[in-house]
Amino acid sequence: MNSGSPFKQWKKGLNLVKGDFVWIAESDDYCDLNFLESQIKQLIDNDLDIVVAETKTVKNQVITGRTQHPVFKENDILNITLDSFLYCPILNVSAVLFKKELVVNISQFFNYKLIGDRVFYFEAFQNKKIAINRNTQSYFRKEGDSVSSLSTKGLNYLVGYYHEHEQFANDAYIAKKIDRELYHLYIKRFFNRVNNRLARTEKLKLKYIKLRIQYYKDLKKY
């Protein structure tokens, strides 16, 4: 059944896991034949919590590029720190293998329809050891415009997108996982991301005006 959120399906799968490792393999993606063997070896040999395969983008069965996961902008092996709160550290979950123990106590990501992956990584991977694995490949299928591309989205989507980000920041602040400064940085970042993608005509609509008022209220909340 289509739940309207892929993250509820992630939760259902995670609840059924019986082994020591988890791979969330999304239906649009595929991988090299040695993917699991290589990922498990890297994880065990390097005492990792999470390993991410080298990732290529594919369109019409042709490789079009390489996905640079933001978490690896400086190092191939590192611990995920609080800095990752401001961005989505991994751009394609199908490239990831991780220890099952990391998801025992996570409880919020499946409540989101748009940014559940970001919330999942924050809940499960904070302060854990992660590395890129360049000995195998994951292939990230991107046919036409990516569903995650904001450039193709309208006002209704972008309003929902901002509200989910503010809810995430609010929950993290209430749980004392981030401070007031980081909360403010986060909601400013994502309001601006929405604001910069809207045409002038959309900014004259009541829905946008309500969003802007809500944004100023969010800034004063803490």
Q: What is the pLDDT of residues 39-52, one digit of tens each?
A: 999 999 999 999 99
User: What is the pTM for the complete model shown?
Assistant: 0.91
pLDDT digits (tens, 9 = 90+) for 130-181: 999 999 999 998 755 444 567 778 999 999 999 999 999 999 999 999 999 9
- Per-residue pLDDT, averaged over 12-40, amounts to 95
Find out whether 93 and 69 touch, Cβ atoms under 8 Å.
no
Stated as kind and residue range, the H or E segment containing 6 is: helix 6-16
Find out whether 37 and 43 touch, Cβ atoms under 8 Å.
no
Candidates 128, 98, 89, 114; CA nearest to 24 is 98
pLDDT digits (tens, 9 = 90+) for 79-137: 999 988 999 999 999 999 999 999 988 889 999 999 999 999 999 999 999 999 999 99
| Model pLDDT, residue 4 | 63
Sorted by where each begins, the domain ranges of the chain are 6-141, 150-221
How far apart are alpha carbons 211 and 217 in whole angstroms? Answer: 10
Distances (CA, A) of 161 to 83, 215, 220: 21, 13, 20
| Model pLDDT, residue 77 | 93
Which tokens hold the place of 4? 């309207």
How far apart are alpha carbons 162 and 213 in whole angstroms? Answer: 13
How far apart are alpha carbons 169 and 119 in whole angstroms? Answer: 10
| Model pLDDT, residue 146 | 47
How far apart are alpha carbons 188 and 219 in whole angstroms? Answer: 8
Which CATH class, in words, describes the domain spanning 6-141?
alpha beta
| Model pLDDT, residue 144 | 53
How far apart are alpha carbons 66 and 58 in whole angstroms? Answer: 9
* Mean pLDDT, all residues of the chain: 92
Beta-strand pair 129-141/50-59 = parallel
Instruction: Give 1's pLDDT tier (boundaries 50, 70, 90).
Output: very low
Which tokens hold the place of 175? 């749980």
Which tokens hold the place of 6? 């892929």
